[in-house]
Amino acid sequence: MSLELLPGDCFAHILAFASPRDACRCSVVSPGIRSLTDSDAVWDNFLPYDYREIIARMVTPDVFRSKKEIFMKLCEPLLIDGGTKTFWIDKSTGKKCYRLNAKHLSITLAENPLFWSWKPHPQSRFSEVAELRTIWWLEIKGMVKTIMLSPDTLYGVYLILQLADRAYGLDCLASEIILEFGSFKLLGTVHLCRYRCKEQVGDCTSHRNRNRMLGSSLPEGMPCEREDGWMEVEIGAFYRNHGGDEDQNVKICLREIKGQHLKGGLIVEGLEIRPKLF
């Protein structure tokens, strides 16, 4: 029996067990299959249950002709909530991803211009990022509500940062990280400095080259370069269950308060929460 002869609702039910990527692959089989795979019944299965609310929170409103078009639009990072967050869904899985601007974080003395400055950044979609002028007590806290995320998903939390040319004091001591989720508590350390090349790698002229040449040998807890020009360091990970933790908060803290030396030049764009890939 040809798939094109299946009723649309049966075809949509079958593809509900597949992925958005599989649906796109099916669409190239024939014009008839493409018509079935492009239907709203199929793509409704891949959209977040609250996609209408997310669309309403977009900074730049848009009009969509189909649910597939909505899905493809949501695969792009979109500014929401007055430009203080970006939202997107993973194209291969349909899982939710967020980036929270530094304004959503609790940064010690962030409102004191002697210690931190807030300014636009050419590589950020947010109106402002936080740049550390000088301080010895470095502490950054954040919170994520699990209800805003996709269920049955292992999420990673990443600090999105850059290091100004004048950066100093950040490589003296590792920063402590704490991730709390219900009764779960993760403790660890990360480094807020560029990784120095090993001698056998040779003369590396940029951090991007270092990452490419060292590959998986980049030590755990070191920032890695991103394609968007920023760096990221993983704070921790947690599993968002299907039920039972809708009202729970994930609390994140990064701090370096043991070394009483001055440090500066850290640029913080915010926190990114996205599914971990294996």
Per residue in 131-180, pLDDT (tens digit) is 999 999 999 999 999 999 999 999 999 999 999 999 999 998 999 999 99
249 CB contacts (<8 Å, ≥6 apart)? 143, 144, 145, 146, 181
Q: What per-residue confidence (pLDDT) applies to 36?
A: 73
Question: 61 and 136: one domain?
Answer: no
Question: 66 and 194: one domain?
Answer: no
Q: Which of 76, 105, 132 is at the close of a domain?
A: 76
- Going by C-alpha positions, the residue among 119, 130, 101, 142 that lies closest to residue 252 is 142
Domain count, the chain: 2
How do residues 76-85 score in pLDDT, each as one tens digit? 999 999 999 9
Question: Can you give the residue range of the structural domain that contains 238?
Answer: 97-275
Structure confidence at residue 217 as a pLDDT band (50, 70, 90): low
Question: 60 and 104: one domain?
Answer: no
Question: 238 and 113: one domain?
Answer: yes
Question: 243 and 199: one domain?
Answer: yes
Q: What per-residue confidence (pLDDT) applies to 211?
A: 45
Which stretches of 46-135 are DSSP H helices? 51-56, 67-74
What does DSSP say about strands 116-119 and 106-107: parallel, antiparallel, or unpaired? unpaired
Q: What per-residue confidence (pLDDT) applies to 1?
A: 45
Query: Is the separation of the CB atoms in 149 and 54 below 8 Å?
Result: no
Question: 238 and 101: one domain?
Answer: yes
The verdict on residue 28 lying in a domain is yes
- On the question of pLDDT at 208 being above 70, the answer is no
| CATH code assigned at 128 | 2.60.120.260
Q: What per-residue confidence (pLDDT) applies to 207?
A: 43
How do residues 40-58 score in pLDDT, each as one tens digit? 888 888 899 999 999 999 9
Question: 121 and 151: one domain?
Answer: yes
How do residues 191-205 score in pLDDT, each as one tens digit? 999 876 544 334 444
